[in-house]
Chains A and B, each alone.
Chain A
Amino acid sequence: MPNKVPITVAVNGRSHSAEVEPRTLLVHFLRETLNLTGTKIGCDTSQCGACVVKMNGVTVKSCTAFAVQADGAEVTTIEGLADGGNLTAVQEAFWNNHGLQCGYCTAGMIMTVTEIIERNPNPSAEEVRAGLEGNMCRCTGYNNIVRAALAAAAAGQGG
């Protein structure tokens, strides 16, 4: 029997208790134990940003955290942003500005853009690009993503 550790993590406002192998990554816990598959695994080496979630209020790459490190933490995934059918300003802006093509990077992009606007409600395009340094998109060429971020900021709310 592999050794297991009990953890309790509040994900999207709901408390989840589980026993996990210590080597389980946070992204695997979210996707495979909680079935929250909106968070993606891309490069697997903390470079691409497809797996970005919020933990205790800041963005983290969930492929580079063990689930045991999230014990007692509050985690928000892409599934936790919209209030029912009401998208957040960032989500609306990605939709309206076609800030995606294949969609694989989108969850991580939206989590990161949400934090960019929380920290700086009126970012310049340059500041948005700097903030997206750790999020890769292989389809859009980033222009529509930057437009979406600026539109969300102009809409006056990050979350």
Chain B
Amino acid sequence: MFAADFEYRKAGSIAEAVQLLSDNPGAKILAGGHSLIPLMRFRLARPEVVIDIGGIANMKGISVSGDTINIGALTTHAEIASSADVQRANGLLAEAAGGIGDPAVRNRGTIGGNLAHADPASDWATVLTALGATVSAQGPAGSRTIAVADLIEDAFATVLGENELITTVSVPALAANQRAEYAKMAHPASFYAVVGGAVVVTMDGDRCTAASVAVGGLTPRPVKAPAVEQALSGTTLTMDSIADATARLGDDLSAAGVDIIGDVFASADFRSNIAPVEVKHALLHAIGLAHH
């Protein structure tokens, strides 16, 4: 399968990439290509101009500064999974990165490209929403910070302007009393998340003092679950209290006003029923009542 013909432009810097985007309306950014190339080959995308940012060195790499992990948008899933700094500062990031696709896909796919593509099945979107991560987006007017929770508007649609690109993803490190986990039901062939649930709980002994919960895969964009979070906060976490809290996920999905995705593999009904199970698994892992 061949993509439609396109003009190839290589950007040497972030500023040049922004300029090329401004000069070529409708152009697409090419990073690792693991979202864009399949779309182009199926002719679901037919950009006239493709801007390759793969060679921009200062968009790659990981640095930890204080309580924040800064990840260049071009950093691959494999680099994040194997980073000792990431493993130390936020184990969930490394674990989620290592669960995306397969080894060769992780060697090429990038965190920025994954978020900009905004696939409803993105593990990153769900995990980073729960973790309260932000992205820096560079446009002609400068850089702005967008919470990942606000970045994705709908399936394959973000709030990024036509001439903006994600340059950095910033993720809070986990505190010593915080536990974070992600559980997903993956499609057995593509490994895409059919349903994914990500949780961050702040603990005081056995008691949860604050919780952040997000689900994805079953919704066009990741959805936060305030009713579940509220039910967890101030509660001693047990099998029963976790089951009670996750039973409220249906309320959160209704309140979010999103369609539940259904397809030949998993109907909307099935996904709605699996979602609280995945959140429950993530919570049980987080407090050590279940193991991978």
Interface residues of chain A, those whose CB is within 8 Å of chain B, are 2-3, 5, 21-23, 25, 44-47, 49, 52, 58-61, 64-66, 68-69, 112, 115-116, 131, 133-135
- CB–CB B103/A46 < 8 A: no
Contact A134 B33 (CB under 8 A): no
Partner of B104, one of A3, A22, A60, A68: A60
Looking at chain B, what size class is its interface with the partner chain?
Answer: 20 to 34
Q: Does B201 contact A (CB under 8 A)?
A: no
CB distance from A145 to the nearest CB of B (A): 15
B2 contacts the other chain (Cβ, under 8 Å)?
yes
Contact (Cβ within 8 A) A134 B52: no
**What is the minimal beta-carbon distance from A68 to any residue of chain B, in angstroms?**
5
In whole angstroms, what is the CA distance A61 to B103 when docked? Answer: 10
Stretch from B5-13, B66-74, B210-218 that touches the partner: B5-13
Chain B residues, Cβ within 8 Å of A131: 103
Cα distance A25–B37 when bound, in Å?
A: 9
> Is the beta-carbon distance between B189 and A134 smaller than 8 angstroms?
no
A44 to B42, CA, bound (A): 10
- Shortest distance between the CB of B201 and any CB in chain A (Å): 28
Distance in angstroms from A40 CB to nearest chain B CB is 14
Please name all residues of chain B whose beta carbon is closer than 8 Å to the beta carbon of A25 when the two chains form the complex: 2, 37
Q: Is the CB of B4 within 8 A of A23?
A: yes
State whether B104 touches A59 (Cβ < 8 A). Answer: yes
Give 16 CB contacts A-B under 8 Å.
A3-B5, A23-B3, A23-B4, A23-B5, A23-B6, A25-B2, A64-B33, A64-B34, A64-B37, A64-B108, A66-B8, A68-B8, A69-B52, A133-B103, A134-B102, A134-B104
Given the contacts A59-B107, A61-B104, A61-B105, A46 and B38 also touching, CB distance less than 8 Å: yes
How many whole Å from B41's CB to the nearest CB in chain A? 8
Given A58-B78, A66-B33, A134 and B101 contact (CB-CB distance below 8 Å)? yes
A44-B1, A134-B102, A134-B104 are contacts. A64–B6 as well, Cβ < 8 Å? no
Instruction: Decide: B103 and A112 in contact? CB cutoff 8 A.
Output: yes
Contact status B6-A22, CB under 8 Å: yes
B254: Cβ under 8 A from any A Cβ: no
Give residues 156-204 of B contacting A (CB, 8 Å).
189-191
Q: Are A46 and B2 in contact (CB-based, < 8 A)?
A: no
Check if B52 sits within 8 Å of A46, measured CB to CB: no
Chain B residues with Cβ under 8 A from A61's Cβ? 104-105, 108
Whole-angstrom CA separation of A2 from B2 in the bound complex? 14
- Tell me which residues across on chain B come within 8 A of A69, comparing CB atoms: 30, 33, 52, 54
Of A45, A47, A64, A131, the most chain B CB neighbours within 10 A belong to A64
Q: 4 nearest interchain CB pairs?
A: A134-B102, A22-B8, A58-B107, A133-B102
Interface string of B205-224 (1 = CB under 8 A from A): 00000000000000000000
Q: Which residue of A lies closest to B34 (CB)?
A: A64
Known pairs A5-B8, A52-B104 / 15 extra A-B pairs, C-beta < 8 Å:
A22-B5, A22-B6, A22-B7, A23-B40, A45-B38, A58-B104, A59-B103, A60-B108, A64-B34, A64-B108, A66-B33, A66-B37, A131-B103, A133-B103, A134-B103
Q: Is the CB of A68 within 8 A of B52?
A: yes
A49 to B189, CA, bound (A): 12
Q: Which residues of B contact A134 (CB under 8 A)?
A: 101-105
Give bound CA distance, A46 to B54, whole Å: 19
Distance, CA A23 to CA B189, complexed state (A): 26
Q: How far is the CB of B250 from chain A (nearest CB, A)?
A: 33
Contact with A along B30-55 (1 / 0, CB 8 A): 10011001101100000000101010
Give which listed residue, A64, A66, A115, contacts B103 with CB less than 8 A.
A115
Which residue from chain B places its CB closest to the CB of A68 in the assembled complex?
B8
Q: A45 — which chain B residues lie within 8 A by C-beta?
A: 38
B234 to chain A, nearest CB (A): 39
For B5, what are the chain A residues with a Cβ–Cβ distance below 8 Å?
2-3, 21-23
Q: Which of chain B's residues has its CB closest to A53's CB? A: B104
CB distance from A120 to the nearest CB of B (A): 11
Contact of A47 among B2, B33, B189 (CB under 8 A): B189
- Per the bound structure, the CA–CA distance linking A42 and B107 in Å amounts to 19
A83 and B6 CA atoms in complex are apart in Å by 39
